[in-house]
Amino acid sequence: MAPRILLIGGNPKHFQAAKAAGLEVVYCQNPGEFKPEYGPQVVGAILADYTDWATFRPLVRAAHRAWGFTTVVSLTEPGLDPAGRVRDLLGLGGPSYEVSHRFTDKNVMRRRIAEVASPDVPVIGAAVLAGRDSLTEFGARHGYPFIVKPGAGTASFGVHRVDGPDDVDPVFEAVSCERDVPEHPFLGQYDLDEYVLEEYVDGTLYSAEAFSFAGRHTVLAITEAVTLEGTVVHAGHAIPARLSAADVAAVERMIPAFLDALEYTDGPSHTEFKLSPRGPVVIESQNRIGGALINEMVHEVHGIDMHELTMKWPHGSVAPVVAALPARGAAASWLAVAEPGEILEIAGVEAVAADPATLAVDLGGAAPGDVVRSLDGSWDGLGHVAVRAAGTTAAIEFSRARVGDIKVRTRPVES
């Protein structure tokens, strides 16, 4: 019998990666997100809110007795902590809940970095939002600007920059409003009770795509992010990042030290950072593969499939990657957006997908009748288009042009 894994959350790309690795899948998904076509691809399923441990725990025990999975995998943010809880419960290998939570809770991550005090991982000021006055106190202690963001979450949702004392009241009001908007899909996956305050680090945002092999960490690629002007939304992502050899070397020192500090030993990671006079500074990190078609771009440019590594490594069917392979050209993805409202028509997708320079198109199943929200985070985009090119600059420009060829017509939704 083929090895079996418990896949928590995820999408068909993850099924396909498991199948290609010779694995059978026991799938856990929220009931409303399980589609009939998933059935033939799995040997069993748990349909439940996997973020509710009291409900999920007995179901996992029963599923383990019934289907005998030996590994737990999640490549979706809300599933990372539940995966750690399952490993702890059943004594399976991989990151524990404690280790996983150091990634998913930004306040815990900051505390851990400060406690370990590695010379290769700079520490920045951080605190938990404890009311309106804590914003003023943080600004007085650490200076302006500074960042306010949810302690849990991703996709740039709920991130605010406080440029001076006059911004304190508007930002505190915005945070209060975000906690009271139950219809936003983000809030179905994340708890916004806790916000954290962090010193602002100026500069371009990058991410290190890494994989850990029994405590040995390899940076597979460095991605450069392009942020939409006037927002915190990362619309573009490009590989390889336009960095000097010295900067790349500094990142390759920082990432292993950071992952060691969090006691992360096995699996993929996606660590966002900025370069500062003190060296690369971690902004946040996830113990999963990055979104925005980053895996497809890493595969195109560096020849490494992180989905394949994630599925095969726990079963010993792949060798460790000792160092990143040299870049072969470049790739970039760009976020597709539309005016808020109900989608009436999406045109141009087929032509973009047919272009030989197009690497991948993923619009997340957007279709007429769906509602587009205002762009408060990358979750509010429709998805991404990734392209290949000879160099990074050309790839960024080309990805943005290809997204522009997709036309989305909407109409306002009556409130």
- Determine the length of the chain: 415
Asked if the structure places residue 226 within a domain, the reply is: yes
Give pTM, 2 decimals.
0.93
Same-domain status, 277 and 257: yes
3-state SS class at 43: coil
Same domain, 299 and 346: no
17 part of a folded domain: yes
- Boundary (domain end) residue, out of 178, 199, 220: 199
Order across the sheet with 330-336: list the strands. 279-286, 267-276, 205-213, 216-227, 234-239, 330-336, 383-389, 358-362
Tell me, yes or no, whether 259 lies in a domain. yes
- Radius of gyration (Cα) for the chain, nearest Å? 21
Do 208 and 168 fall within a single domain? Answer: no
Same domain, 340 and 287: no
Q: In terms of domains, do 211 and 324 share one?
A: yes
> Domain of 165: which CATH number?
3.30.1490.20
The answer on pLDDT for 181 being more than 70 is no
pLDDT greater than 70 at residue 77: yes
348-374 residue pLDDT tens: 999 999 999 999 999 988 899 999 887
At residue 177, the pLDDT reads 82
Confidence at residue 126, expressed as pLDDT on a 0 to 100 scale: 96
Residue ending a domain, among 283, 306, 328, is: 328
Using DSSP's 3-state secondary structure scheme, residue 271 falls into strand
Mean pLDDT in residue range 292-300: 97
Q: Indicate the residue type of 133.
A: D
* 208 and 320, same domain (yes or no): yes
Is the confidence at residue 185, as pLDDT, over 60?
no
Are residues 300 and 214 located together in one domain of the fold?
Answer: yes
Domain residues for 398? 330-415
What span, in angstroms and rounded, lies between the C-alpha atoms of 386 and 377?
19
Domain end residue (candidates: 146, 177, 199): 199
Domain with 8 in it: what CATH number?
Answer: 3.40.50.20
> Number of structural domains, the chain?
4
100-136: per-residue pLDDT in tens?
999 999 999 999 999 999 999 999 999 999 999 999 9
Q: Quote the CA–CA distance of 194 and 398 in Å, as a whole number.
A: 39
- Determine how many CB atoms are found less than 10 A away from the CB of residue 105: 18
pLDDT given at position 413 = 85
43 is a domain residue: yes
Confidence (pLDDT) at 206: 97
